[in-house]
Structure 1
Amino acid sequence: MLNVAIKAARAAGAIINRASLDLDILKINTKSPNDFVTEVDQAAEAAIIETLLAAYPDHGILAEESGRQHGAKHSEFVWIIDPLDGTTNFIHGFPVYCVSIALAHRGVVQQAVVYDPTRNDLFYATKGRGAYLNDKRLRVSKRTRMSDALIGTGFPFRRGDNFKRYVKMFEEVMTQCAGLRRPGAAALDLCYVAAGYYDAFFETGLNPWDIAAGSLIITEAGGLIGNFTGESDFLHQREVVAGSPKIYGQMVQILAPYTRVIKEEEAAEAATTKTAADVVAEAVSATAAVAPKKRAPVRIKKSDAE
């Protein structure tokens, strides 16, 4: 299964590399303000899905651009795919982006591949067999003090994100560590924790395809990953913190007050106290959320001066 995932990631990487040579003619659509999708995302995703389903036609697919449109709907095996993590970087020619592919069985990630096509770096892991960069075994850093730690993060960028909350988190972490970095591709950031380049990483607003592969690579490299309160329920909670064990613990202490995770018992209690008006309002919101929106094609052109 790992070899098939690597084959799919390299196929997508070849598409991305070819497109990066001629960004002038790239067609770009806007999913929401500051959230872009290109024809390259779609072509790379199609290549990945074709490769995976050719080998495993009975598996499910959860992909960033096409959701669960492809594959078996009720399979215990689900491939979680981000064909181009770091699209904004890509369309600006900033060479920090990657392909991320994970295989989950009954909700537990078993295989992971993150491919950086600009550097030809292949991060991969199989549950219980360690994590690797190309042929080198990965281990998280051995630093133990926050004052020595280099921390990766991601800034909120979507309309409706809680910027004030993030600025408070940013200030607390920044004043306690050696430095903060924000390259703009979460899947690579997680791999950098596994490789020991970072000592920890945190971000809010992420989706399963952003973190599924990186989460296994981190744990197989000896690191820890969870939500802001240190629990393992992070894949669908839209908040994540990861790091070497000592730094992870200190990051959880800093970030726990900022958690937005809703506990199951709290959700159940809230559900029993809903009014009829609440139910109607939620139904309307859900309908609006899934309503198709027109995506106006945008073409990037370089000026003559460039």
Structure 2
Amino acid sequence: MTPLDFTQLSHNVAALCRSTAEFIRQEATVFDRAKIEHKGLHDLVSYVDQETERRLVAGLRELLPQAGFITEEGTAGPDSQSEEFTWIIDPLDGTTNFVHGLPVYSISVGLLHGAELAVGVVQEVSRDESFRAVRGGGAFCNDHPIHVTDVTDLHSSLIATGFPYKDFGKLDSFLQILGAFMTRSHGVRRLGSAAVDLAYVAAGRCEAFFEFNLNSYDVAAGILLVREAGGHVTQFLTDGDPLFGRELVASNGHLHQQVQGVIGEFWQ
């Protein structure tokens, strides 16, 4: 059997995400907020999420018929992680932004090869930016190489985060961490799409990102982007698996211990 060409596959996935993003952009011009549904407290879904996922699943099945799927909206059927290949898909990361007309939302597609991320694509829809990474092959934005920054001082950094929206049990600890970063950095930004946050760390637009209560489909592609751009990704206080660990710190690498140190002051 011919070995899979992950670089060519990444280009094919990026092309699929670009074409699917056209559907999202078209729907954004006519979207009716009355059509949203609630999966849980403050957890929104729309027909745009569902139709986008259906289009992605169909296209990815053509590219790699033997792969399993982990998807946010379940349109591929029950999650079916394969021993060899598994697609991990968030069709519209930033649904709340989309629903309210805020232009930060994305498509996120990652591919697991065994237990390792092999391909990651984040399509930022509104700006039409295609972030792509291949294990061992680097990270790119619109096919131009990207790299994390070389900032080593936390006080000279910009930090991204995501706010809790359905599990508020650790809200006090989070707010203390947020306050610490506000006073020890250039500032904190909350964009509303973890996939975009990770892509921006990879592209050097911010130095670090942290969030908890994350799902694998939020972060799979972005984790690979950051690593291939020269950064570091872990759980909050350990080097544990950030893909399925529900919490994540991503950084340019130089600041990683400093960021973990701030989180460790307050996280319980």
TM over 0.5: yes
Deviation at 1:71, TM superposition (A): 8.1
The amino acid of 2:24's aligned partner reads I
194, 200, 225: which is aligned to 2:202?
A: 194
- Cα separation, 1, equivalents of 2:83 and 2:18: 25
Who is 1:79 aligned against? 87
TM-score if structure 2 supplies the norm length?
0.92
Instruction: Answer yes or no: is 1:18 the counterpart of 2:26.
Output: yes
- Cα separation, 2, equivalents of 1:239 and 1:69: 26
Deviation at 1:15, TM superposition (A): 1.4
Check whether the contact 1:125–1:217 (CA below 8 A) recurs between aligned residues: yes
Who is 1:286 aligned against? none
Who is 1:165 aligned against? 173
Instruction: Give percent identity, aligned residues only.
Output: 37
207, 212, 216: which is aligned to 1:208?
A: 216
- Cα separation, 2, equivalents of 1:153 and 1:67: 29
Who is 1:182 aligned against? 190
* Higher deviation after alignment, 62-71 or 175-184: 62-71
Deviation at 1:74, TM superposition (A): 3.6
- Cα separation, 2, equivalents of 1:41 and 1:115: 14
70, 85, 91: which is aligned to 2:99?
A: 91
Quick check: which has more Rg, 1 or 2? Answer: 1
Judging changes above 3 Å, is the alpha-carbon distance between structure 1 residues 168 and 259 closer, same or farther for their aligned structure 2 residues? closer
CA RMSD of aligned residues (A): 1.7
Check whether the contact 2:167–2:213 (CA below 8 A) recurs between aligned residues: no
The amino acid of 2:250's aligned partner reads A
Deviations 1:173-224 (A, max 9, x none): 2221110000100000001001111011101111001111000000111000
Deviation at 1:119, TM superposition (A): 1.0
TM-score if structure 1 supplies the norm length?
0.81
Deviation at 1:73, TM superposition (A): 5.4
Partner-residue secondary structure (3-state), 2:32: helix
The amino acid of 1:228's aligned partner reads F
Deviations 1:224-278 (A, max 9, x none): 0101124041111111011112211210111235556xxxxxxxxxxxxxxxxxx
Who is 1:217 aligned against? 225
Judging changes above 3 Å, is the alpha-carbon distance between structure 1 residues 177 and 129 closer, same or farther for their aligned structure 2 residues? same
Who is 2:55 aligned against? 47
Correspondences of 1:235-250 after superposition (within 5 Å): 235-250=243-258
Instruction: Answer yes or no: is 1:102 the counterpart of 2:126.
Output: no
Deviations 1:115-155 (A, max 9, x none): 01211100001011110001211110111111111000011
The amino acid of 1:144's aligned partner reads T
Listed as ranges, the gaps of 5+ residues in structure 1 are 261-306
